[in-house]
Structure 1
Amino acid sequence: WKNWLPHPSTLRKWYSVVDGKPGFTKESFRVIEERNKVKQVLCNIVIDEMAIRRQIIYKDGVFYGHINIGIDTQIMSDNLPEAKNALVFMAVSLNDHWKIPLGYFLIDSLSGEERANLLKICLEMLHDTGAKVYSLTFDGAPVNLSMCTSLGANFNYGNKDFQPWFINPVTSQKMFIFWDYCHMFKLVRNTLGDKKTLYVGGEKIEWAHILSLYEIQCSEGLRAATKITKKHINYNDNRMNVKLAVQTLSQSVSSALKFCNELNFPKFEATLPTANFCLIFNNIFDVLNCKNKFSRKEFGKPLCDETYDKLVQDVKIFEEYICNIRDSVGKPILQSQRKTGFLGLLICLKNVINLWDELIINKVSIDYLLPFKLSQDFLETYFSAIRARGGFNNNPNVVQFESAYKRLLIKHEISSSEGANCMADGIEILHISSKRTILKESVIDFDNIIGDVGDHDYIQTVWELSPYVDNVVSYIAGFIVSKILKRNICQFCRDQLLKNDGETPSLINIKNRGPLLVPSEDVINICRFTEKTIRENLYNIFKIKNIKQILIIKTYNKVTDTIFTSDDMIHHILSQDPFDNHRCQLIKLIIEIFINIRLYHEANIKSQKDQYIRNKYNKLILFKN
């Protein structure tokens, strides 16, 4: 029976016939050809370089580590430079769910014309498979722009010859160019952070406003529903982190700036232009980052016949806004030395529409287009998977890169992490015991803890919440209501959680785009008292055992006589246990959820560092080969 299954060494011999050497991989094109027989293949080509370790290796009578562009007759000599990058071509399906590397080349440096020649060969081989290609994606490196200009593209915006596409030399059809929008977004953030001030229509857009927002969040102890931390402000140590750039120029930051402006804080009198800048670029990112055909975001819907007209209008608005941006000396940003990020986003927006028009003209069968599939993320994830193949060694040499390339070419699934190295694969760590003990934190032992409550009240400080904190607490209260409503509670208690009339808190009003719940005054008051209790005991949070239970008891004692005291509530709990009725349970639940949120926030603040260097130095080591 054992002989029915092949031995691992046999499998290795079978896989050894797969050609993983530099050059275009014939097996990849063969697979695409087979796919095309079942369904018309429509794909996007992605090109990027991965830094590898410079190292000459002698193996099986051959020296490895020099540049190699896949030519069999290549003559090895002492003058041949060492390879420091792997230039990889990848095909990403636009009408299906797959991606596949087409080949790689070991290079030291490669001119734009040489890259253009490789691209022509790639287009010819894809054409032979029957696949259709109308787009090309890369980052904004000058050598990549030179590659496209040598093929006929023109990136001089405002010039009558502006042409962010070139004619496919094989099919004579348009090839639309996409500068990876994630890279472009980082460049926009860097421009604002480095220049400090930009102008739109005479109005100032200032990095200082975002810095002031961070400072007020630190001084008040709560964030205004933003992700801004020290990492976002000191972005130079994490310049390559897309998430930080997107969270900085986001709708949440825009709303927070408007909120601080409404409260008339001293440094926020003229923040509306900066808030609008963040909102515009947040919407641009949503358009280009659409990856779900069922997305309900206003600007994050896939391109199809139903959304086409709206997207065309939105792109015109975005284009007009970007064209009006000027640097500190009044020069249009699209004519300055820092134009790459802004121009790249503009080209992506225009070419998404142009690509759809071209597909319709050529009668390509596609129901919708997800702009995310025109990004470089697929290749970045692939690079991450290659680095992860080496375990602790994330800096592969030529031989290790080839081995990882072959293994990933054979595997059906490539996984990676959000941070870069690898993604969680869903496999749990084996526990010592199969029986797990679940601790119910919601069950509080009042008898054992009640005596500790008064032991630590050495100093009683009466805290008054500022308008800023009061609004943030009200916003958190709305989140708590949404969590409780997902539980199985009676309809009467549900009604007590929601606001029926009256004025809506400012922050909720600004951030509400439809689905936000407005909590009742009783829920907000519970959260206010809980926040005051936390601030009274802030210095003891990390010192006292059972701090969560102590905070719950202290807050409960403060609010038990004043919250949910309407006649309807009293009538509702008449037949219930006087010490464990719906009213008591609801108050304790609200307090507990709020304290969980706040303690989690305090732990995050405690763990923040003045400087994050691991990621920075890791990248520096990799890029120095």
Structure 2
Amino acid sequence: MPVSCAAFGCKSRYTVEAREKGITFHRFPKSNPVLLDKWRLAIRRATSTGQLWMPSRYQRLCSLHFEESCFDTTGQTKRLRDDVIPSIFSFPSELQLAMAPASVRLKMASPSAPSEPTPGEAVNGTPKVETAPANKEASISSQVQLQDHIYFIPDVETLKRKLRASEDSRVQKEKELRNAKDREKRLRQTCPSIYQELGKKNLLTPHLQEMLQSYRDIPLELFMKPECEYSVQQRLFALTLQLYNPGAYKYLRNTIKLPLPSARKLRQWLKTYCDKPGLNYLVLEALLKKKKENPPLYTRACLVVDTMSIQQHITFDSQQNELVGFVNLGKGADASGSQEVASEALVLMLVGIAGHWKAPIAYFFIKSLTPEAQKQLVLHALHELSDNGFEIVAVSMERHQRNEEMCTLLGCQFTDPTELQTYFSLPDSEHKHYVIFDVSNEQQMIRDMLKDSGTIQSPDGTIMWQYIDNLMSLRKTAAMHTGSNQLSSHVAAFSQLPKITLVVNTLSNTVAQALAMLQELKCEPFAGCTATVCFIQIIDRLSDILTSKSTRVKGDKGPVNRTNLQHKLDVLQETKEYLLTLTTSDNACLYKCPSAQCILGLLVNITSFMALLPTLLLDQEYVLTHRFSPDHLKIFLNGIQKADGSDNKPTAMNLKRAIRRLLSQCGVWNLYNPQQNEISFDHITEDDRVPCSFRQHLASPFQQNSIMLPDHYYSSRVLNFMLQNSEVYITGWVVRKAFSQLACDKCRWALVTGDTPQDFRNAYHLLQSKDGGDFVPSTGTIKTVLTAEKELHHMLNYQTFKHSTFPLVLEHRVLSLLGSADIFDLKEHITLTELGIENHHFQLLRLITSLYCALRQAYVVKVTQRIQYQAHVTKILTKPIHVFNENI
């Protein structure tokens, strides 16, 4: 804060120029009230009301207003003497006339008086300096005249203007206070009426009312526009309302004019970092980097959506110091503001269509997720991916009621299977996102439907489950009579078939071939199974086309390319027409039967692929349809469930740890240095990569990166050898600490060696110079640490010592054992640094030993406490028992 002089007309300020001129600034004597009054009278300042001016603690008076005799310059600083009063001022002429004694004023007013310059006039161009009155009477008279003088008291007009200004300010403040009270009253009426208004508009569902019950007593600041950032409660309320009822959210934002955030702001709240729930922007940044390097492989992808049931269990994450298990939608609405325990986890994974990669981009901890809320989360993810330049051609999921309702809310139409709309588009976008259901799950549902209904009518005849059941029974009978000479005709016919392996999926081509051959052998239980064989073959061929995995396979299981595109499109069209002709035993269309909606998923997949495959092949050489399967995410989720070896539901912490391991294995997130997102071991080959607990069919998009996992077992030969050299690892830590305390470069180089080891497995490169050279601890340093470790264990096992003297005793024992042997290879540097019996050799021994002792201090305390506890328990249990004789 700048310091200025408080005297009238003085322009001195505490600057460099003032210090060069020798001007000093002094405080007012606040501790001496009598002297302070004298200073106030000498300065002759008054307030606007005529009262004598009172200085504040920050105001100063410069040295120009004191005589030279008032200062004590004997010390290093220039100080005021005790009881000195400022006397050098330059006041206006009228003030000097008013402050002069009565006799002086009369003389100055008399015309016969000799012409003398008045106190305020200049003499030879120099203003005359007035001296303050010295006696007490003059001081009192000066104070009275000071208060009544026109210079210090404003005129009446000025006072009137100030009064009017203060009155206007008071009226304005009263008006603002009244308006604030009215706004508060209206807001108090608005809070309960919001639910009533939404109820009248039919915008609140019972489920949403239950979820918003905790916001029934919403504080007023929730409806006030935030100055800088929304609070946690505001974020939770806005996200909950927007996810579960965007119509009500839009009504409150546009009609009621509540300051609710925009969709882009909500999407920012859903983002997260490292392994926390939400849209992981670390994965997105890594994918963007890959897309920039190779756009054809990383631009087009499929979004896989799946949910997993988790235990309602709260776990404390010690690494990030937080509770895991609450409902958590991202960084903007974390568990700090939610008290609901999550029961499900929604996971979103991105799978490359042209490239061989996949990556989990988001997961959320949720409870009782509705189709509307799931739709909003998927839309937020699609918007974020679209904004970053990714082309999401399809959204893959399992087909159940919630997912079907979500697709309907997105814009798909599944009501009429003959006129399906299996795609949707984002607002203000013409790009189509096709919906694809799990093919294997649909095939299983068809098998269950056929088993329950028993028969289905087709153009080729009646499709019966009894044929498949007879085949399974015949197989069991043949297995029981193996080696017997007396076989029935049916079993004999079955034994003539080639070796057939009946897989779990009974609607496979293997079963169709077995039924066809048994029919050719004229087995009575299989007579007339032509329609069943045809049905099984059509379903199996469709499954092969929609789940092609390898580019080396030919036929239906091979990839779709420009050569076979038309053929496979014809097969898909024929299969679609065949499924639409299936009827029940009552001649009702199968797709219209509520219990036979299983074929709806196949019809949706056929429609999506028929529109999608020609578009994809415009830019790609081939398409593997398995890239659109939810199996990629199922494998990951099943690995989490089987990680602990039990059949219980995994906890939220299990899922978080799995995501953490996967991100670390991909190199997206460094567990040891979060600021460094991508690291790798240059000396580890591809075969020695850190293994992942959940090995995927598709490789990670970040294969070249790898990272150590703290809770993982390594099978790498190189890493195992490195981790066995614990003494090198500990010595490296000691050397790093010693470098910060050593000033001698010769001693620094003595602690490390720059020679490259003959075998990398025998040492761990812990030190690195500025120019990039690798170093390891020297042999002498390792020997000193090993000696200290040996003596430490000897002292703990066989001796008693005090904690205060433990480091000194350990240094003494190490010095006694190693002595003056030149283990650091200092050579003539030892003699050059000798000072009595001391030299740098012994100083290095003491320094390394003391640093190692500090490293092991916690272990020493723990062992000592355990020994003391054991001795105390032994003393209690071995306390002698005194037997007293009653006769004594």
Question: TM above 0.5, one fold?
Answer: yes
| AA aligned opposite 2:290 | R
- The partner residue of 1:372 within 606, 626, 640 is 626
- The partner residue of 1:33 within 280, 284, 288 is 288
What per-residue deviation string (whole Å, max 9, x for no partner) do you get for residues 152-211 of structure 1? 111123454x20111133642111110111111111111111212111127211111011
* 1:173 matches 2:431: yes
| AA aligned opposite 2:628 | L
CA contact (8 A) 1:32 1:131 kept: no
Partner residue in 2 for 1:151: 410
SS in structure 1 of the partner of residue 424 of structure 2? strand
Alpha-carbon distance in structure 1 between the residues aligned to 2:520 and 2:566:
35
SS in structure 2 of the partner of residue 89 of structure 1? strand
Partner residue in 1 for 2:54: none
The structure whose Rg is larger is 2
Alpha-carbon distance in structure 2 between the residues aligned to 1:76 and 1:93:
35
When residues 284 and 401 of structure 1 are mapped into structure 2, their CA distance, relative to the original with a 3 A threshold, is same
Alpha-carbon distance in structure 1 between the residues aligned to 2:693 and 2:334:
35
Alpha-carbon distance in structure 2 between the residues aligned to 1:394 and 1:32:
34
Alpha-carbon distance in structure 2 between the residues aligned to 1:224 and 1:353:
37
Instruction: Give the alignment of 1:482-501 within 5 angstroms.
Output: none
CA contact (8 A) 2:640 2:654 kept: no
Alpha-carbon distance in structure 1 between the residues aligned to 2:284 and 2:337:
32
Equivalent pairs counted in the alignment come to 386
* 1:23 matches 2:278: yes
Q: Which range is displaced more, 151-160 or 387-396?
A: 387-396
When residues 288 and 73 of structure 1 are mapped into structure 2, their CA distance, relative to the original with a 3 A threshold, is closer
- The partner residue of 2:601 within 341, 344, 358 is 344
SS in structure 2 of the partner of residue 169 of structure 1? coil
CA contact (8 A) 1:127 1:170 kept: no
SS in structure 2 of the partner of residue 343 of structure 1? helix
CA contact (8 A) 1:32 1:129 kept: no
Alpha-carbon distance in structure 2 between the residues aligned to 1:62 and 1:311:
53
CA contact (8 A) 2:565 2:614 kept: no
Alpha-carbon distance in structure 2 between the residues aligned to 1:426 and 1:310:
48
Instruction: Give the alignment of 1:248-397 within 5 angstroms.
Output: 248-296=506-554, 298-359=555-616, 365-390=619-644, 395-397=649-651
What per-residue deviation string (whole Å, max 9, x for no partner) do you get for residues 112-133 of structure 1? 2211211121112212332211
Partner residue in 2 for 1:138: 397
| AA aligned opposite 2:595 | R
When residues 206 and 66 of structure 1 are mapped into structure 2, their CA distance, relative to the original with a 3 A threshold, is same
| AA aligned opposite 1:25 | N
Query: Kindly, what percent of the aligned residue pairs are identical?
Result: 24
When the two chains are superposed, the root-mean-square deviation of aligned CA atoms in Å is 2.9
| AA aligned opposite 1:20 | D
Alpha-carbon distance in structure 2 between the residues aligned to 1:311 and 1:426:
46
Partner residue in 2 for 1:226: 500
Alpha-carbon distance in structure 2 between the residues aligned to 1:62 and 1:427:
32
When residues 427 and 414 of structure 1 are mapped into structure 2, their CA distance, relative to the original with a 3 A threshold, is closer
When residues 393 and 170 of structure 1 are mapped into structure 2, their CA distance, relative to the original with a 3 A threshold, is farther
- The partner residue of 2:328 within 61, 68, 79 is 68
What per-residue deviation string (whole Å, max 9, x for no partner) do you get for residues 30-86 of structure 1? 1110111022221000000112122133556754322222253457678x4421211
Alpha-carbon distance in structure 1 between the residues aligned to 2:553 and 2:625:
12
Alpha-carbon distance in structure 1 between the residues aligned to 2:355 and 2:693:
18
CA contact (8 A) 2:327 2:335 kept: no
Partner residue in 1 for 2:176: none
Alpha-carbon distance in structure 1 between the residues aligned to 2:478 and 2:414:
47
SS in structure 1 of the partner of residue 347 of structure 2? strand
Alpha-carbon distance in structure 2 between the residues aligned to 1:132 and 1:414:
29
| AA aligned opposite 1:152 | G
Alpha-carbon distance in structure 1 between the residues aligned to 2:649 and 2:591:
37
Partner residue in 1 for 2:312: 54
| AA aligned opposite 2:285 | R
| AA aligned opposite 2:540 | N
Q: Which range is displaced more, 191-200 or 90-99?
A: 191-200
Structure having greater relative contact order (Cα 8 Å, sep ≥ 6): 1
TM superposition score normalised by structure 1: 0.58
SS in structure 1 of the partner of residue 410 of structure 2? coil
| AA aligned opposite 2:328 | N
- The partner residue of 1:105 within 364, 383, 397 is 364
CA contact (8 A) 1:195 1:328 kept: no
When residues 195 and 224 of structure 1 are mapped into structure 2, their CA distance, relative to the original with a 3 A threshold, is farther
Q: Which range is displaced more, 308-317 or 59-68?
A: 59-68
Alpha-carbon distance in structure 2 between the residues aligned to 1:225 and 1:400:
44
When residues 123 and 268 of structure 1 are mapped into structure 2, their CA distance, relative to the original with a 3 A threshold, is same
TM superposition score normalised by structure 2: 0.41
CA contact (8 A) 1:94 1:369 kept: yes
Structure 1 residue 392 displacement after superposition:
5.4
When residues 193 and 310 of structure 1 are mapped into structure 2, their CA distance, relative to the original with a 3 A threshold, is same
Could you tell me which runs of 5 or more consecutive residues in structure 1 were left unpaired when the two chains were aligned.
1-16, 229-242, 420-424, 429-625
CA contact (8 A) 1:140 1:340 kept: no
* 1:213 matches 2:471: yes
Structure 1 residue 144 displacement after superposition:
1.1
Instruction: Give the alignment of 1:229-240 within 5 angstroms.
Output: none
Structure 1 residue 311 displacement after superposition:
1.0
What per-residue deviation string (whole Å, max 9, x for no partner) do you get for residues 191-245 of structure 1? 11121211112721111101111122222335754333xxxxxxxxxxxxxx622
Partner residue in 1 for 2:118: none
CA contact (8 A) 1:30 1:129 kept: no
| AA aligned opposite 1:273 | A
* 1:94 matches 2:353: yes
When residues 249 and 275 of structure 1 are mapped into structure 2, their CA distance, relative to the original with a 3 A threshold, is same
Alpha-carbon distance in structure 2 between the residues aligned to 1:301 and 1:157:
32
